[in-house]
C-alpha cells in the first residue's frame, strides 16, 4: 500500500459527497414542505434546536477556557501543576461522557448543593436566605457542567500539542528580545500554535454538537428529547428519527463547512506572511 498526497485547494477533486448530501437534504426539505406528518414532526423536533445550540456553545466555550488553563498547567515549570494537569486529563478521559453526565447530575450536583449550604450556613440560620435544594440546580446546567468537564480534558491535549509544536527557536529569539513570559505566549506562541490547534479543536466542536444529544437522558428538552417524546406518544418512529437525523446532519455538516472555510483562510494568511517575510517564519 502506498500513500499519496491529496490534491489541495481548487486543484482538488470535486466534493461529490457534498452534492449527494445536498440532493438528499433538498429531497427531505420537499417532503417536509408537502407532507403534513413530516411537517408536524419537524415543527415539534425543531423546538429543541435552541437548547441544543445553547448547551453546545456554553459547554464548548467553558471547556476551551478550562482546557487551555489545564494545558498551560501541564507545561508549567512547577511539578505539582504538571502532575495535577496530567491527573485530570488521564482520569477524565477514561470516563465515558454518558457516565460523566449521570455522575455529575446525581452525585456531583447534590454534593455541590450540600457544600454551598455549608458555606451559607450563617445566612441560612439567620433567615436571610432559604436552604438550597437539589431540584434548584437545573438538569440542563448539570448536563453543561458534565460536557464541560469531559471535553476540557480532550481540549487540553489539543492545546498542549499545538503549543509544543511551535519552533523553539522562535521562543528563544523572543527571550533574547527581552519579552516577558506572557508576552512570548501572546505575541509569539499562541498566534503560531492556533494554526495547529484549530483543526482538531473544530472537530471537537462538531463532536460536541453530536454528544449534546446525550443530555436527553437527563430529560433536557433538546432535539433528541423532543423526538423521543413525540415518537413515544405517536409511535411514528421512522418519521421522527428521520427528522432528528436530518436536523443533526444540517447542523454538523453546515458547521464543518464553515470551520473548514475559516481553516483555509488561516492557512492562506500564514502563507502570505511567510512569502512576505522569508526566513522569519519556520517552513510549513
Q: Let me know if residue 276 belongs to a domain.
A: no
**Pairwise pLDDT comparison (129 vs 156), residue with the higher score:** 156
Residue 219 C-alpha cell reads as 430529560
Question: What pLDDT, on the 0 to 100 scale, is given for residue 217?
Answer: 93
pTM: 0.86
Question: What pLDDT, on the 0 to 100 scale, is given for residue 282?
Answer: 56
Mean pLDDT for the stretch of residues 18-47: 91
Residue 142 C-alpha cell reads as 448539570
Q: Let me know if residue 112 belongs to a domain.
A: yes
91: left (phi over 0), alpha (psi -120 to 50) or beta: alpha
Query: Could you tell me which of 158, 188, 144, 152 has the C-alpha nearest to residue 170?
Result: 188
Q: Let me know if residue 19 belongs to a domain.
A: no
Domain carrying residue 126 = 25-262
Q: Let me know if residue 5 belongs to a domain.
A: no
**Cα–Cα dist 222/226, whole Å:** 6
pLDDT surpassing 60 at residue 149: yes
Mean pLDDT for the stretch of residues 7-34: 82
Q: How confident is the model at residue 7 (pLDDT cuts 50, 70, 90)?
A: low
pLDDT surpassing 90 at residue 57: yes
Coil, strand or helix: which one is 277? coil
* 94-108 pLDDT tens trace: 999 999 999 999 999
99-131 b/e (C-beta count within 10 Å ≥ 16 → b): ebbbebbeebbeebbeeeeeeeeeeeeeeeeee
Question: What pLDDT, on the 0 to 100 scale, is given for residue 82?
Answer: 94
pLDDT surpassing 70 at residue 4: no
- 11-15, 44-48, 223-227: which has the minimum mean pLDDT? 11-15
Q: How confident is the model at residue 158 (pLDDT cuts 50, 70, 90)?
A: very high
Q: Let me know if residue 17 belongs to a domain.
A: no
Percent of the chain with pLDDT over 90: 61
Mean pLDDT for the stretch of residues 164-168: 88
Q: Let me know if residue 134 belongs to a domain.
A: yes
Q: Let me know if residue 6 belongs to a domain.
A: no
- Per-residue DSSP letters for 235-257? --HHHHHHHHHHHHHHHHHHHHH
Number of domains in the chain: 1
**Cα–Cα dist 229/278, whole Å:** 60
Mean pLDDT for the stretch of residues 162-170: 88
Coil, strand or helix: which one is 270? helix
What mean pLDDT is reported for the chain? 89
pLDDT surpassing 80 at residue 2: no
In this structure, the dihedral spanned by the alpha carbons of residues 182, 186, 188 and 193, taken in order and rounded to 10 degrees, is: 120
**Which CATH number is 234's domain given?**
1.10.3720.10
Q: Let me know if residue 31 belongs to a domain.
A: yes
Mean pLDDT for the stretch of residues 251-276: 87
**Pairwise pLDDT comparison (272 vs 16), residue with the higher score:** 16
Amino acid at each position: 500500500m502506498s500513500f499519496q498526497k491529496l490534491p489541495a485547494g481548487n486543484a482538488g477533486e470535486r466534493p461529490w459527497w457534498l452534492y449527494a448530501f445536498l440532493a438528499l437534504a433538498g429531497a427531505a426539505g420537499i417532503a417536509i414542505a408537502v407532507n403534513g406528518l413530516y411537517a408536524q414532526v419537524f415543527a415539534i423536533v425543531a423546538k429543541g434546536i435552541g437548547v441544543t445550540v445553547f448547551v453546545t456553545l456554553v459547554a464548548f466555550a467553558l471547556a476551551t477556557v478550562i482546557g487551555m488553563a489545564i494545558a498551560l498547567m501541564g507545561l508549567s515549570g512547577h511539578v505539582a501543576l504538571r502532575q495535577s494537569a496530567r491527573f485530570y486529563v488521564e482520569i477524565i478521559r477514561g470516563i465515558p461522557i454518558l457516565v460523566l453526565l449521570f455522575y455529575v447530575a446525581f452525585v456531583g450536583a447534590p454534593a455541590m448543593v450540600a457544600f454551598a449550604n455549608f458555606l451559607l450556613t450563617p445566612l441560612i440560620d439567620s433567615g436571610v436566605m432559604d436552604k438550597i435544594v437539589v431540584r434548584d440546580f437545573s438538569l440542563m446546567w448539570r448536563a453543561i457542567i458534565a460536557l464541560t468537564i469531559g471535553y476540557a480534558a480532550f481540549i487540553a491535549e489539543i492545546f498542549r500539542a499545538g503549543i509544543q509544536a511551535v519552533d523553539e527557536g522562535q521562543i528563544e529569539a523572543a527571550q533574547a528580545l527581552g519579552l516577558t513570559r506572557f508576552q512570548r505566549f501572546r505575541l509569539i506562541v499562541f498566534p503560531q500554535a492556533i494554526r495547529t490547534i484549530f483543526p482538531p479543536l473544530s472537530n471537537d466542536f462538531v463532536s460536541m454538537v453530536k454528544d449534546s444529544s446525550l443530555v436527553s437522558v437527563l430529560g433536557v428538552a433538546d432535539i433528541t428529547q423532543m423526538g423521543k417524546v413525540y415518537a413515544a406518544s405517536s409511535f411514528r418512529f421512522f418519521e421522527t428519527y428521520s427528522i432528528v437525523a436530518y436536523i443533526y446532519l444540517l447542523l454538523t455538516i453546515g458547521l464543518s463547512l464553515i470551520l473548514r472555510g475559516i481553516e483555509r483562510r488561516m492557512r492562506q494568511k500564514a502563507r502570505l506572511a511567510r512569502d512576505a517575510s522569508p526566513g522569519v517564519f519556520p517552513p510549513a
